[in-house]
Amino acid sequence: MKRVRAAIALALVGLLNLGGLPYEPPPPRVTARAWQAVKAGPRDVLVTLQGYPDLSAARALPTKEQRTRFVAQTLMAHASASQGELIAALRARGMDLMPLWISNQVWVRRANRADLRWLAAQPRVAQVDLDVQFLGLQAHLKPRPAAAPAGVEWGVQRVRAPQVWAMGYTGQGIVIANLDTGVRWQHSALKPRYRGWDGTTADHNYNWFDAASGTNPPAREPEDLTGHGTHTVGTSNGDDGAGNQIGVAPGARWIACRNMEGPSGIGSVARYTACFQFALAPTDLDGNHPNTALAADITSNSWACDPNYGEQGCEVPTALVTVTQALRDAGIMVIAAAGNSGPSCGSISLAPATLDQAFSVGATNSSDQIANFSSRGPSSLTGRLKPDVVAPGVSVRSAYGLPNGYAFLSGTSMATPHVAGVAALVWSAAPWLRGDVDATEALLRRTARPLTTTAQTCAGVPGTQVPNHTFGHGLVDALEAVNHATSVLRAEAPAMHFYPLPLTYTVTFTNLNLFTRTNVLITATLAGAATVLSSEPAATQQGSALVWSLGQVPPGAIVVLTYTVQLSQTGLVSNAPLQVGFDGLNLPIEGVAAQTLAYAHHSWLPVIRHTAD
């Protein structure tokens, strides 16, 4: 057996020696494909270093800002200790590089074989692998021009965004990071919503980053060579104020990072990672001075890490798990296109849609039918249910050409920003949910409109069951989600009440978040000149208000309080305003009040007349 193996090894060496060149195996920790690729000339490589910090403590922090800051600072500190000497040495060698502290990697540009030998000898290096492999694919977009404004686009209406706008919530205070092919930022429907534009001047630092400029210098302002990223950001945020209401959350602000190169839109693990890192801690245009205070709230990801499309590193299905989990721990929602490989079951096969860390979106048409191209679940990686929800993705009209062009496009790419916009509406209406990704995803699943108009059975789950692998939990519904989120605190009492009997109110508080709330205070303002008779549990009366100090309320808990009052008069009475506050909440939550009509008792005796026979 040993002789046979030796003969095979010699034969392989002989094959590799064709042409008279001696065979040189790759150094330890350098992948064979990276070693082979640089034989033809310098190539970009991704250097992974040893170790990764534990970020789980972020999940117990009460605010999004605290979680984001903890995750970024922990990752940066670990990377500094792990990468510091290597980065200094690379710069001394004159190498072009980008530190990826979010994944404890370093992206090294135009490395040759001598560089790879040197990297392999560095003590903290775990692996050196090839990065981008450009195959020269043709642009895959086939837009259909659309000039005339349609008012509120059908997809925006379908997710019931206008009804939420009417409640005063348009996504204000929320930042959506569009991680895509870039953005034609001066488009009339996008420019007013760009965080880098103050209405007079532009500052692209911390609002734009180019991680996929290819052989060109990084763009110093947002640009888009395909129109794809322009179209998707239009669906999440766009509105030109002149009838083109194309965006679900026109009050939200957008920032952008280009993670796909050129008119063909070629990404890589390094490029995707760099843009996730930018969303977590935006930088200046040179990639320096990261600032977590300017982090995104939501990332909209209308792409797939596809090795068949020339995207190096994507053949490893778990390549993006670490970075998407880091964003999740930081309170940043990762929303991802399910893919356009349907209608076969199990066609959700590419990250990030396959990952538990991403909220995956399929595509429907204007009749709420699933698009034939929309990928079906389950996830090829985990075997679990995917997509999570569906949204409009067929013939979606959005921004395209400059200065104010529009086009119809179809794909789960178009469905994804609808959901990013809905999430922004929910967080603007219920800021206490902002950054609680688990609770927000659970809310969007629970409030989606169930869809079962498919005979397809995938992984034993029939299309008549909810959820299923075609529609997930159903069509995302902004109005239902916001109504549910804002009913976290409510009071109930009889609609009619006999005066002067005592009137009892029941107050219910639900902790929708998936972590414990601390120092919870609930306040109920008394109606008129009502006198408190009792409260359960006992509350403290402060002027015309009752205050309950509840301490800690665990995840998903429902707290029920009651108080009984003696009214001083008849008529319509209300206990508004009702408020709850807790650690990590800037402003108290206003609750839904109860109204009761108090009436005095009157008796009417029937008049009985006797008539003669």
The residues annotated as belonging to the active site are 180, 228, 413
Give percent helix, percent strand, percent coil of the chain, each to the nearest 5: 25, 25, 50
- Beta strands (DSSP E) in 200-252 are 208-210, 244-245
Angle of helix 412-429 relative to helix 228-237, nearest 10 degrees? 30
Q: Measure the CA–CA gap between 533 and 324, rounded to whole angstroms.
A: 53
Query: What count of other Cβ atoms lies within 10 Å of the Cβ of residue 30?
Result: 23
Which residue bears the tokens 């809310």?
443
Contact, 179 vs 435, CB < 8 A?
A: no
Contact, 285 vs 255, CB < 8 A?
A: no
Return the H-helix or E-strand segment holding 533. strand 531-536
Contact, 470 vs 459, CB < 8 A?
A: no
| Token representation of residue 380 | 């090829």
Following DSSP, what letter does each residue of 542-560 receive, concatenated?
ETTEEEEEEEEE-TT-EEE
Identify the CA nearest to 282 among candidates 179, 201, 428: 179
CA dihedral 187, 192, 193, 198 (to 10 degrees): 130
**Burial letters 77-103, b for 16+ CB under 10 A, else e:** ebbeebbeebbeebeeeebebbbbbbb
Cα-atom radius of gyration of the chain, to the nearest Å?
A: 29
Amino acid found at 157: Q
Q: Measure the CA–CA gap between 293 and 105, rounded to whole angstroms.
A: 23
| Token representation of residue 584 | 């990590």
How far, CA to CA in Å, does 417 sit from each of 144, 389, 391? 19, 13, 9
| Token representation of residue 248 | 């679900």
- Beta strands (DSSP E) in 314-365 are 333-337, 359-364
Backbone angles phi, psi at 346, to 5 degrees: 75, 15
Amino acid found at 311: E
| Token representation of residue 212 | 């996929």
Contact, 245 vs 151, CB < 8 A?
A: yes
Q: Measure the CA–CA gap between 48 and 229, rounded to whole angstroms.
A: 29
SS (H, E, C) 451-467: CCCCCCCECCECCCCCC
Q: Measure the CA–CA gap between 508 and 506, rounded to whole angstroms.
A: 7
Dihedral of alpha carbons 254, 255, 260, 265, sign: positive
| Token representation of residue 211 | 């991680």
Return the H-helix or E-strand segment holding 180. strand 175-180
